[in-house]
Amino acid sequence: MTLCNVKHSAGLWRSSTQNSTSTQKLEVRRRTRYNIGMHTYIISDLHLTPERPRITKAFFSFLRDQAPLADQLYIIGDLFEFWIGEDAAELLGAAPVLDAMKAISRVTDCFFMPGNRDFLVRESFTERTGFTVLDDESIIDFYGVKTLLLHGDSLCTDDVAHQHFRQTMMTNREFCDGFLALDVPSRIEQAKQARIQSAQHKSEVSMGIMDVTEQAVLDAFTKYGVSQMIHGHTHRQNTHHYNVEGNVANRYVLGDWAETNSVMRIDASGIEITNQAI
Ligand code: MN
């Protein structure tokens, strides 16, 4: 099978409105048969920054060696340590990353879901990178299993300060538009301040609060009517099993990229997460 065939046999089919960010407009068809070798990769929380060139190098290796063999690639948030708009990418040293993303998008169907660090990714990101931008909390059919895909911070409901930030800034279009309208130096300055505050916040709240709230997980399974959920954000790679109204439900959590990477591979037989030394 050629790479071209793999690309077009992807499990998630896009409707004619390819640039749409609305999940409702994504047409998900249930497939009953899958070709052997078809698989999807999901990664998150690389927190790329010029300060950690080894992680960027590891990402490039992944894009070169592994991603071209997959029919789909999803990056589900916090790819960047912070993101303040494409026009600042050059200055922040992110241009080679965007170029590498564009290259992989030519052979693999690629999707990007913003996290709490890169929530300012906009639709124009698709043009620059070839990655279709997805809404946080999207429903995707992975080889016949309806799955809730999310960055994960929306599940951390015990972290009141973060939920306030989510409500008033992250998901506030007016705030985001205003911020992106500032000149690049002002945006960099404000982002630095936000990072300092975030670091302070992390050192002040308990580890438990930084994790998901179990009730929020159960509520999400019920709200979306799914038995499978995949997220990152907490950096706590694991698989959790739940009993939701008498049925088994699974929550898969990706780790971050630091000493090792964290790569989820999904195919028709299931899900596995592997870690390679960086
Ligand atoms: Mn995050």
Chain segment 131-173, per-residue pLDDT in tens: 999 999 999 999 999 999 999 999 999 999 999 999 999 999 9
Phi, psi of 132 (to 5 degrees): -70, 130
Ligand 1 centroid vs 6 CA: distance in angstroms? Answer: 31
Residue with tokens 């564009």: 102
Ligand 1 centroid vs 178 CA: distance in angstroms? Answer: 22
Instruction: Give the residue among 143, 123, 153 at the shortest CA–CA distance from 265.
Output: 143
Enumerate residues 6+ apart whose C-beta is below 8 A from 220: 137, 148, 150, 155, 229
Going by pLDDT thresholds of 50, 70 and 90, the confidence category of residue 8 is: very low
User: What's this model's pTM, rounded to 2 decimal places?
Assistant: 0.86
- What residues sit around ligand 1, an ion, with C-beta below 5 angstroms? 78, 115-116, 233
Ligand 1 centroid vs 128 CA: distance in angstroms? Answer: 23
Kindly report, residue by residue over 15-28, the tens digit of the pLDDT: 333 444 444 445 44
Ligand 1 centroid vs 81 CA: distance in angstroms? Answer: 9
What percentage of the chain exceeds 90 in pLDDT?
Answer: 76
First to last CA, the chain: 31
Instruction: Give the residue among 24, 123, 141, 121 at the shortest CA–CA distance from 76.
Output: 121
Q: Give pLDDT, residue 24.
A: 44
Ligand 1 centroid vs 46 CA: distance in angstroms? Answer: 10
The CATH fold assigned to 3-269 is Purple Acid Phosphatase; chain A, domain 2 (3.60.21)
Least confident of 47-61, 71-85, 189-203: 189-203
Ligand 1 centroid vs 102 CA: distance in angstroms? Answer: 23
Going by pLDDT thresholds of 50, 70 and 90, the confidence category of residue 200 is: confident
Ligand 1 centroid vs 190 CA: distance in angstroms? Answer: 18
Asked if residues 261 and 232 have their Cβ atoms less than 8 Å apart, the reply is no
Q: What does the block give as tokens for 57?
A: 């190098």
